[in-house]
A and B are shown apart, each in its own frame.
Chain A
Amino acid sequence: MADLLFTHSYLILLFPLLSFVTISLRPVQLSPKMAGRFAIGCQGLSMLYGLAVAAAYWQTVIGQPQLYPARSLVCFDLAWLNFSPTLTANMGIFLDPISVMMIVVISIISFLVNIYSVGYMKDDPGFARFFALMALFSFSMLGLVISSNILQMFVFWELVGMSSYALIGFWYQKPSAVAASKKAFVVTRFADTFFLIGIIVVSFYTQSFDFQTLNSPETAALLDHTFMLGIVPINLLTLATILIFTGGWGKSAMFPLHIWLPDAMEGPTPVSSIIHSATMVVAGVFLTARMFPLFAASEVTLAVVQFVGAFTALFAAIIAITQKDIKRILAFSTLSQLGYMLFSLGVAKMVTGIHPGAEINPLGYSAAMYHVFTHAFFKCMLFLGAGAIIHAVHSNDIMDMGGLRRLMPKTYWSLLTACLAIGGIFPFSGFWSKDAILLAALQSGHYIVCAVGLATGGLTAFYIFRFFFLTFHGRARSKFHDVRENSWMTFSIMALTIPTVTAGMLEHLFVSEVTVPGLAYTPNFSHPLWLPTLASLAGIAGISLAWTFYGRGRTEAAERCRLRIAPVYQVIYNKFYIDEVYLFITHKIIFHGIAAPIKWLDRHIVDGAMNLIGEFLQQGGKAVRLLQNGQLQLYLGVTTLGFIALLFLGR
């Protein structure tokens, strides 16, 4: 039974693909309503099948550790491209703890978001197109997580990028949406280029794309040599892993490639929801986790991952405090949470000398995956809730909201759990995953990162409750018409409270089962009690501060505070002017400094030479044309002259 499930595990992918093909290519005519139902049905089947596979995996692989010591299972692996006798790209399905976990998360969230979208996208002219693209999106992401080799993963990786491009620019009549989708695509493509180079470097040396080969210690030893690039010594392993990580860097929108994510809010809210929880941005974290053994073999790479993650976590949290657009607050919150995940992966490398004999602390890895899991649900819910609010209020600005608690009670209570979860309040899911992350940082000896994590936790609680209080409490700051909860939408939101509240129970499961592949090391999960206490205190402090400033929907105290630190506030509100820096670099330096001279060269030297040749030929043609003037007697005269010339020459 389980074997049969595994053999046909491609069905998980096939249902969304079927939905996409059916709705977009229309082999049968579907009304928009039917298209939505059909998409939900396909997603539901995909989810059921995914859950079945997960259960079978649980029973077969996890339940029999003696048969599956690596806890992984290759369902099938077909040769796809034969580059050379030794290098073949396969297409296959690879199940291990993290891919099974991602299948569960993606299929459940896609299903719920699809249900939600029926309410949200109601009356939109692109209703059917929306569901087709959503199906493509979940197809791509599911394909990404079950890839058996890195090239297949890259293919799906780009499909994810492409479908997110289509979805962010879904309302293509809006110039801002088009610009945002272009920005997202260009930035992630920019990063993906490095990813591809990394793939080429690695596969060139190892003659393999397969994850199991790439993650083996032999590969790390093979790659681990230093060569000189000019005068700079470069370790090939570090170079290759950082190149691969750059792909995840851009996809997960880590600083300084984060600029596309806030703009991606131009898409419909369900799209933001699925991008931020289960698909697009998680791909970067997933990639890092998937390649973790190889990354961990390098001295530098995990330090880079850790630094980037920690910095982005703090950086994005600070920006989130000042934002007024409800979706942007959540976008920066996602950045911050992704930072958590990445630095959690980064801290899995022990500081030398903390625990003699152990180099890798698998707790960081498990904690990161655990946070991916919990975050997906509560962030999805936050976005769906925000979408419901926007749908009701027709505004994105939290300053226009307020007092929605009575009008939208179901959303209110559901979102409260999500806010508590992201704020890290016991016993909601976020508390447990953040606690695990902080513990991993502490155990590995990265005390600074641990402190950054704690501080970010406090900031997170503050900004999320600022959003919460300003939206739901106090009195309405603008007139709302006809605020009503849509049952399609509230169903999804309420369904998501279940994992949000209860996912904390899965902590021990993650810690013991979702471990670094090929590392026989039982994690040390002994808790110093002061750590969760401190984290909770930071969260509670953040909430209290938010209540002081914004409780009952007040804004006056916050306004006074804002005026006192106006210059700093301005800098933060403008996202540290990173976008402007990019604009400066691209427009002033690249466009004017590099592109303009090149353009000048092209216009005047290259084109000039071509024009000169063309002009010469044209003038020559004109000159020759004069002979061909249709004057009969000129022809005859010239012929006679030719004859005379022959007479004289022939003598």
Chain B
Amino acid sequence: MMSDLLFYGLVTTLVLLSLLAVSLPNLLHGAIALIGSFFATAALYIMLQLEFVALSQIMLYIGGIIIFMLIIILLTSGLGQENRYMVKGRRRAAGAGVSALLLIGLLLTISQPSETLQKATLRAAPVTMDDIGFRLMATNKNGFIIPFEIISILLLVALVGAVVIARRDNGQEQES
């Protein structure tokens, strides 16, 4: 029961931090809340015996993506100033309504008596780092080599594209 308690604690933390991340007026605070939620997610992954995913979560998300985001926030708003664009209560209510509807719809969808979900309590053997590494590089039918290479090219293209887009042109951009 210790693990159940830990699970509910982690879930509560995760949902609360996510809520904070999307609703805190100051973006910088929101990003920090997001970091917290990612840590909680990583803990959940460890509970699911997916250590590699948990490590990637921490290294990629927290170490890479969130840092990216913090850099953007700091670059564009001068150390967190002017982050507080006023959002009307009506819009908040509309957004909350839409997302609540979505949640209800999704929950209703999975509330159908479904064997897949009900009986899915079997725990698999832990996935080791070796498994993941071999599967990623495997060239057989179940291998992920092609998506892996495509992702790598995508990353390259995205980085080059980012440089091209963000580069300061010596033409009309300087005047604006």
The answer, yes or no, to whether B146 is at the interface (CB within 8 Å) is no
Q: Are B106 and A641 in contact (CB under 8 A)?
A: no
The answer for the CA separation of A644 and B108 in the assembled complex, in Å, is 11
Cβ distance B106 to chain A, nearest Cβ, rounded Å: 7
Cβ distance A258 to chain B, nearest Cβ, rounded Å: 74
Q: Are B98 and A648 in contact (CB under 8 A)?
A: no
Choose among B91, B94, B95, B105 the residue that contacts A648 (Cβ–Cβ < 8 A): B105
The answer, yes or no, to whether A637 is at the interface (CB within 8 Å) is yes
The answer for the CA separation of A643 and B99 in the assembled complex, in Å, is 11
Count chain A residues whose beta carbon lies closer than 8 angstroms to a beta carbon of B: 9
Cβ distance B89 to chain A, nearest Cβ, rounded Å: 15
The answer for the CA separation of A435 and B102 in the assembled complex, in Å, is 112
Q: Are B106 and A637 in contact (CB under 8 A)?
A: no
Q: Mark B50-72, 1 if CB is under 8 A from A, else 0.
A: 00000000000000000000000
Q: Are A647 and B95 in contact (CB under 8 A)?
A: no
Q: Are A644 and B102 in contact (CB under 8 A)?
A: yes
In the complex, residue of chain B having the shortest beta-carbon distance to the beta carbon of A646: B105
With a CB–CB cut-off of 8 A, which chain B residues contact A641?
98, 101
Q: Are A644 and B101 in contact (CB under 8 A)?
A: yes
Q: Are B94 and A647 in contact (CB under 8 A)?
A: no
With a CB–CB cut-off of 8 A, which chain A residues contact B105?
644, 647-648
> Quick one: which of B102, B105, B108, B109 has the most chain A CB within 10 A?
B105
The answer, yes or no, to whether A564 is at the interface (CB within 8 Å) is no
Interface of chain B: mostly helix, strand, loop or mixed: helix
Choose among B98, B108, B109 the residue that contacts A640 (Cβ–Cβ < 8 A): B98
With a CB–CB cut-off of 8 A, which chain A residues contact B109?
647, 651
The answer for the CA separation of A647 and B111 in the assembled complex, in Å, is 13
Cβ distance A645 to chain B, nearest Cβ, rounded Å: 9
Q: Mark A626-651, 1 if CB is under 8 A from B, else 0.
A: 00000001000100110110011001
The answer for the CA separation of A637 and B106 in the assembled complex, in Å, is 16
With a CB–CB cut-off of 8 A, which chain B residues contact A648?
105, 108
In the complex, residue of chain B having the shortest beta-carbon distance to the beta carbon of A648: B105
Q: Are A643 and B95 in contact (CB under 8 A)?
A: no
Choose among A637, A643, A651 the residue that contacts B108 (Cβ–Cβ < 8 A): A651
Q: Are A637 and B102 in contact (CB under 8 A)?
A: no
Cβ distance A646 to chain B, nearest Cβ, rounded Å: 9
With a CB–CB cut-off of 8 A, which chain A residues contact B91?
633
The answer for the CA separation of A637 and B98 in the assembled complex, in Å, is 7
Q: Are B94 and A637 in contact (CB under 8 A)?
A: yes
The answer for the CA separation of A644 and B99 in the assembled complex, in Å, is 9
Cβ distance A193 to chain B, nearest Cβ, rounded Å: 65
Q: Are A647 and B106 in contact (CB under 8 A)?
A: yes
Supply 7 further A-B pairs (C-beta < 8 A) apart from A641-B98, A641-B101, A644-B105: A637-B94, A637-B98, A643-B102, A644-B98, A644-B102, A647-B102, A647-B108
Interface residue ranges, B against A (CB under 8 Å): 91, 94-95, 98-99, 101-102, 105-106, 108-109
- Residue pairs across A and B with Cβ atoms less than 8 A apart, 5 shown, are A633-B91, A637-B95, A640-B102, A647-B108, A648-B108
